[in-house]
Each structure stands twice: as structure tokens, then as C-alpha cells.
Amino acid sequence: MMLHEIGVLGLGVMGKSLARNFASRGIRVSVFNMPLPGEENTTKQFVEEYGTDSFYGARDLKDFVESLKKQRLILLMIKSGDPVDEMIEALLPFLEPGDSIIDAGNSFYKDTQRRSAYLSSKDIHFVGMGVSGGEEGALIGPSIMPAGTDLSKERLLPLLEKIAAVVYHEPCVHWIGTDGAGHFVKMVHNGIEYGDMQLLSEAYGICRFAAGMENAAIADLFEENLTNFHESYLLSITIDILRKKEKDDYVLDNILDVAGHKGTGMWTSREALEMGVAVPTITAAMNQRIISSYKHIRNQFSEKMFRLNNVIQPEILQKVLAPALLAARLAAHAEGFHLMQVASDRYQWNLNLEEIAKIWRGGCIIKSSMLPIIAKAYYDASESEEVERLEHLFLDETYQMLVNNNIVALSGLLSSIKMGSDLATPCLSAAHDYVRSLGSKKLPINMIQAQRDYFGAHTYRTIDKPEIAVHTNWK
């Protein structure tokens, strides 16, 4: 039997698409899907549908492993969590030193660190690999974020470069680092994604419920005014969604306002708190999804809620919505990149933030015309003799200019919303306050320090002698 270059284990939507992508680039692929009682043979069905010339459908795990070239590459496309650990244990009896297991699901990065250490003790390489782009991206070219050992990089990266999206002749894949770095970067990608989605949702809500615009008019406004730096995958699908009709009714108007989540947004907020990094825009997006799930409470409370019935004129939105939304999106992206910088220092990953921004330019859910600006900011810092490194995107001159030029529009929009409607805008508000807070030389946090010293004798530091801890007898 001809040995195959990579094996895809798990033939769900993403597994099927990635397997087909590999095969379309001339890469020989073995596939296998663990059968469940009473289910059709998914492996056999897949091979029959897509061709025995392109794929080898394994009979069982042993056959699957033995069908692969030595220093095997086994790509797991299964549910994250316990199923990954269970599959690792099921595979181990058939593996040999030098083989690699690649987890391409949305696994928690600390689980990836644990699995890497465990498999290293058995001379098996483990790769934690973020993949973004959904079903379509996986099939025609995703953005890929792998991390692992040097040997697994030698074997795997050339294959990934063949299947990744391409922007300006550069594949959207970069070897992120070691152990959990790839899954951490994918986690932050998803956190930014949560923020971007919520910001667009709030922009839609302002137009629909505060300005009384119809869906088609909102789509036109988005298409006309949210271009340039706003050009993005999420914006393009939002416009499509706004225009979609079935039987003369907008599909969007019949969708229940309760949003789900799969953990990555929550992980981003939690890990940021643990590392002492503020990501308020991302956290506000996560909170709003959680609040949406309490539909029964919202229904009851809304009956008693004081209502503001003033309407914002669409003409105002024509002027301020695009710059306001840009300021907020700049904040959300800056939060995510700051978190990656701090995590890189903590775990000694040496993350290349320029390359990360570049691989997000294509193939992934958050791809937008904002990413080249971010990539250039980190490139300019790396080339500068005056700056050791760019600690935060707000310290880049071009990024600063964009934030300063658009934050006033966000302030004005929020003022109009708060005065004129009862619409909640948590993400826009959080982004605004993040910019204003980081742009403040003097915050009223001195009061908190005084309060802490008053009730707990926690001490405080003074402006003239910050190196000395001081306590005052406040009574």
C-alpha cells in the first residue's frame, strides 16, 4: 500500500474540508472517523464521495496509523476537551518515536501545554494548531497558527503552506512558537472576533432601533460608509445578512436574540484578567452574549423599564457611524495584541506580532484592511533604532493618529445614544473608555488607593516619592 503524507482523524465539517484541501494540492491523505453505534460508516461515505484516488479510508485506528509515512503526521479534527485526551491514549499504542499529533481544534492553550509535556516524555511530538476561516476557509485556504517542536515544524509547515490562504503571494500560516502558543493566538483571534461581531451588532442596533432604519437601508449605509479601514469579512457577511429575504420577510427579523458561545471568548477574558491585561471591549462582547441568554429576565424587566423614545436621525449616522466604529475596532484589536505581547513574555514564546497580523489578512474570520496597518506598526518598530519594541499599538504613530482622528466621533455617537434612546451599547462604550483611560495621564484611581489604605492599611505611594509605601491614619 502506498503510504500517505498526512492523516486526518475526524470527518466533521472542518475535517472533511481540510482533508479535501490537502488532496486538492496533490498531498496524499488518509482519513478515518471513529464510528458510533448505529451510525453510517462516515469514512467509507467520504471516500466514496470524494474519490479513492485522493484518499485512503482506513478501517480502524491501527490501519489508519500504518497507512502513513514514518514520522507520521496525524491531524485531529475532533471536539476539544476530554475527547482529545481520549484519542491520544487510543493512538499511543500504534505510534512510534518521532510521530506527531496535531490538534487543530479550539483547545484551551494550557491543555495543549500539558499534552505537549506528556507526549514529549514518550518521544511523540504534539502540535497545537489554530485554524480560522470556517468551512469555506478550511476548504479553499484558511489562516493557520501552529506551534510545536522544531521537528514537527520541518515536517508539517511545508504542507500547511500549500493549503493556507495566500495574500500578496504570502501563505497565511506562521509557526507561532512552542507548546500552547498556537492555541493561545487562536484564542485571542476569537476574542477579537467576539468584539468585532458585537460592535457590528451594536452598529446595526443603533440604525435599526434608535434611528428606525429598515434592514436594506442599513445594508446600503454599511456598504457606502463602512469601507476603507472597515473592509472586512465580517462586514461583508453582515451586509449579506441584512439583505437576505425569504417570502418578502427579512430572515434577520425572525432570529431569536440569544447568542451562544463555545468558550474561546470567555477564555480570552479570563486569561487577560489573570495576566493583568485589560481587554474591556472583548469582555463586554462576552458579557452581552451571556446577558442575551437570560431572555426570560429581559422580557419581564423590560415591562417595567423606563423608556427613552427619542429617535436618532439617520443623517447623523451617515456622518459619525463609520469613524465611531473604527475607533472602537482599533481598541478591540489593540487589546488583543497587547494580551499576546504580555503572554509572549510570560511563557517566553517570542511571538512575532507582525507575522501574526499578516496571517490574519486572509483566510480567517477577522480578516480586514485593518490588519496590514497593524503588521506595519510592528514592522516599523522592529526596524527602528529608537524603539526597542512596540509595547502597545496605541504607541505607534499611525495607529495613534487613527485613534485620535476617530475617537471624538465615538464620543459623540455614544452621547446621542445615551440621551436619545434606551439602546445598550456595551462594546462601543467599553472601547471608548479603554481609549480614554489609556490616554489619561491622571486617573481618579488615587481615591481607590486612599480607600484601600483607610479600611485595610494597604498603604499607598506618593507622586513625589513613588518608591516608598505610605500609610495614613485617616480617622
Catalytic residue list: 186, 193
Longest dimension (CA), the chain: 86
Candidates 365, 428, 405; CA nearest to 200 is 428
Spell out the alpha helix ranges (H) of 395-457.
397-420, 426-438, 445-456
CA distances from 227 to 153, 232, 436 (A): 38, 8, 25
Q: Angle at the Cα of 293 (from 288 to 298), degrees rounded to 5?
A: 85
Quick check: helix, strand or coil at residue 331?
helix
Residues in a beta bridge with 173:
144
> 382 with 388: CB under 8 angstroms?
no
Cα–Cα distance for residue pair 196/2, rounded to 1 Å: 46
* Beta strands per DSSP E along 195-258: 245-246, 249-250
Contact 294, 318 (CB under 8 A): no
Beta bridge partners of 249: 246
Structure-block grid coordinates of residue 369: 484592511
Return the DSSP state at 305: S
Taking CA atoms, 244 is separated from 201, 204, 305, in Å, by 16, 15, 32
Burial 298-334, CB ≥16 within 10 A → b, else e: eeeeeeeeeeeeeebebebbeebbbbbbbbbbbbbbb
Distance CA 233, CA 320 (A): 22
How many secondary structure helices (H) and strands (E) does the chain include? 19, 13
* Adjacent-strand bridge partners of 30: 7, 56
- What is residue 276's three-state secondary structure? coil
- Tell me if 308 sits within 8 A of 156, measured CB to CB: no
* Cell numbers for 309: 423614545
Cβ-based neighbours of 50, under 8 Å, separated by 6 or more: 19, 20, 23
CA dist 336 and 177 (Å) reads 18
User: Smallest Cα–Cα separation from 213: which of 231, 225, 227, 229?
Assistant: 225
